[in-house]
């Protein structure tokens, strides 16, 4: 295992629901990331947190709301999602953000289905 | 801008044969190159990376990759494929002179046939 855990592993929600995805890293890293992986598309970086501050927000719709209460935990709050938001959501962490040599370590992902 | 191409959607190889998964990149500065593997219903696992130094990089599970600056390539190789190597493989690049984030390729599905 990589030291990055995600819950839940699977989630089905209606378009009017509110849910949250959770990520936890046990590696002592300072940077955490949310990615979206859709079929037939490259991985899309959604958000980056470094030392609990958001440093990247890649034009993600406001129905996705990240939260990083401490350097070990990252949440993605979901509300009024659309069916096209169905995807695998991956969390990753790295020692620091800003060094181009840094390796990112990924969690197993949450498979989200929006009905 | 930086970009990564993986020209093959699918690679099939017989068990015991050598395998190659191709990756080419485009950057403005020096590249930092990574390979990740994704098994079904799992996240991405780091295999290896090239930062500087020897053009041949050795990684996990017997994989290696060769950095070729003139051909802007970073192909992943293994001398003898295993059925358990069947997975989705992603190449990723960071550009020394541009931004902090990875650009990932679209992925190549490797099937190793018994």
With tokens 């709050």, the residue in question is: A77
Chain-chain contact of A101 with B100 (C-beta, under 8 angstroms): no
pLDDT of residue A12: 95
pLDDT of A2 strictly over 60: yes
Distance between CA A71 and CA A68 in Å, rounded?
7
pLDDT of B98 strictly over 90: no
Closest chain A residue to the Cα of B3, Cα to Cα: A42
pLDDT of residue B2: 82
The per-residue pLDDT for range B13-38, each reduced to its tens digit, is 999 999 999 999 998 888 899 999 99
Pair B2, B94: CB distance under 8 Å: yes
Structure tokens at A40: 């037939």
The per-residue pLDDT for range A15-65, each reduced to its tens digit, is 888 999 999 999 999 999 999 999 878 899 999 999 888 887 778 999 999
Give A-chain residues touching B51 at CB under 8 angstroms: 101
Pair A48, A96: CB distance under 8 Å: no
% of chain B beyond a pLDDT of 90? 78
């Amino acid at each position: 295992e990589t030291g990055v855990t995600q819950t839940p592993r699977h989630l089905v929600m209606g378009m009017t629901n509110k849910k949250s995805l959770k990520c936890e890293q046990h590696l002592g890293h300072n940077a955490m990331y949310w990615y979206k992986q859709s079929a037939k598309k490259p991985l899309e970086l959604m958000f980056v947190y470094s030392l609990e501050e958001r440093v990247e927000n890649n034009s993600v719709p406001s129905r996705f709301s990240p939260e990083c209460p401490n350097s070990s935990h990252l949440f993605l709050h979901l509300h009024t999602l659309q069916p096209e938001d169905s995807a695998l959501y991956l969390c990753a962490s790295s020692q620091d953000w800003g060094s181009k040599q840094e390796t990112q370590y990924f969690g197993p992902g949450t498979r989200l289905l929006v009905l | 801008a930086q970009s990564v191409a993986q020209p093959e959607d699918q690679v099939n190889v017989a068990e015991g044969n050598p395998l190659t998964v191709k990756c080419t990149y485009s950057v403005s500065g020096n590249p930092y190159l990574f390979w990740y593997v994704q098994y079904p219903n799992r996240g991405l696992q780091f295999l290896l990376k090239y930062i500087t130094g020897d053009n041949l990089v050795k990684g996990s599970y017997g994989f290696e990759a060769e950095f070729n600056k003139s051909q802007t390539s970073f192909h992943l190789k293994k001398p003898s494929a295993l059925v358990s190597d069947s997975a989705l493989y992603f190449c990723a690049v960071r550009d020394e002179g541009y931004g902090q984030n990875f650009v990932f390729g679209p992925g190549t599905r490797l099937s190793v046939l018994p």
